Amino acid sequence: MRGLVVNLLGVLALISVAGCGGGGATSGKPTVVATTTMIADAARIVGGHDVEVISIMREGEDPHTYDVKPRDATRIADADLVLMNGLHLEATLGSIVDNNAGERAVRLAEQPGIDPIRGEGGASAAPDPHGWMDVRIFIRYVEGVRDALIEMDPAHTEGYKDRAAAYLAELEMLDTWVREQIETIPADRRVMISSHDAFGYYGRAYGIEVHGVAGISTDQQVQARHIGDLEDLVRERGIRAVFGETSVRDALNNQINQIAANTDAVVSDAKLYSDSLGAEGSPGGTYIGMMRHNTRTIVEALRGAE
């Protein structure tokens, strides 16, 4: 019995240590929890030295199928602000946020001014959550991050505004650059196939037709007939290259390999960053780096020799 009490006390001590894990407890700064790596990047840039940012997901993790950790609920409950994508991107984390963050959660893709893409079924169809792929929509995300930080911590309004303004100017230039790059691909070659439908907003914004092995989530089974249809598309349109993605399960990238094996297309050497940034210091280690890497990869693979 005594052993049990001691063990219980030990467990309680561990729980309370975990409860103090938030950066705010050690630095005195507000703690901002971001779900995805793209959102964490924006929060770190706009928050600067005034906040501690914790990213729930690490580089390369797939938000659609994220495996919730016991510490996530504690981090979300302890956070001063929770920044997430919304539109059901964070399928497994959604209820954890609902139960632990309440009003302190901001769903950046669900803000006014963002026109979601919906599949067949119109207004009743699930909206596509991958809004960050259109830099103009990501600009709305960053404005939402700025406004949420100011509301949470008005004493540092000036810093949040200044850092956001500098970053937004960079994003404006990025948006122009991506558009100019895609325009260098001959119009009849502006069609791409990747592991899942993460590039719908990219395609809509920059004028490229996009197709995925899987749909707008990575957790669905893929029909063999769909792969056959994609192979027909490659043959009919003379598509030169198809693309794997860094954050999806291997089975989906293997199907990209299969499409190439059965057609004249090649698999692009470089994978695309879709739902996660790359490791720090890698080409996709920041949001801007991710968009530049993806665009260069797509243009080089599809444009071919002039």
Q: Which residues bind Zn ion (CB under 5 A)?
A: 198, 275
Whole-number minimum distance, CB 176 to Zn ion, in Å?
A: 25
Whole-number minimum distance, CB 51 to Zn ion, in Å?
A: 27
Which among 165, 291, 296, 161 has a CA at the least distance from the CA of 241?
296
Alpha-carbon span 184 to 284, nearest angstrom: 22
Classified as helix, coil or strand, 164 is: helix
Torsion of CA 148, 152, 153, 156, to 10 degrees: 0
Whole-number minimum distance, CB 162 to Zn ion, in Å?
A: 33
Alpha-carbon span 291 to 235, nearest angstrom: 28
Residue number with CB closer to Zn ion (77 or 133): 133
| Residue that the structure tokens 């850092």 belong to | 163
* DSSP string of 68-121, one letter each residue: --HHHHHHHHH-SEEEE--TTSSTTTHHHHHHHTGGGEEEGGGSTT----B-TT
* DSSP string of 227-247, one letter each residue: HHHHHHHHHHHT--EEB-BTT
Over its C-alpha atoms, the chain yields an Rg (Å, rounded) of 21
Whole-number minimum distance, CB 274 to Zn ion, in Å?
A: 6
Whole-number minimum distance, CB 211 to Zn ion, in Å?
A: 14
Residue number with CB closer to Zn ion (23 or 86): 86
Residue number with CB closer to Zn ion (48 or 60): 60
Residue number with CB closer to Zn ion (84 or 198): 198
Residue number with CB closer to Zn ion (63 or 144): 63
Whole-number minimum distance, CB 184 to Zn ion, in Å?
A: 27
Residue number with CB closer to Zn ion (274 or 297): 274
What are residue 29's phi and psi, to 5 degrees?
A: -85, 155
Start-to-end CA span in the chain (Å): 80
Which region, left, alpha or beta, applies to residue 67 given φ > 0 means left and ψ of -120 to 50 means alpha? beta
Alpha-carbon span 148 to 129, nearest angstrom: 20
Whole-number minimum distance, CB 122 to Zn ion, in Å?
A: 21
| Residue that the structure tokens 């949001």 belong to | 287
Residue number with CB closer to Zn ion (120 or 306): 120
Residue number with CB closer to Zn ion (78 or 275): 275
Whole-number minimum distance, CB 125 to Zn ion, in Å?
A: 16
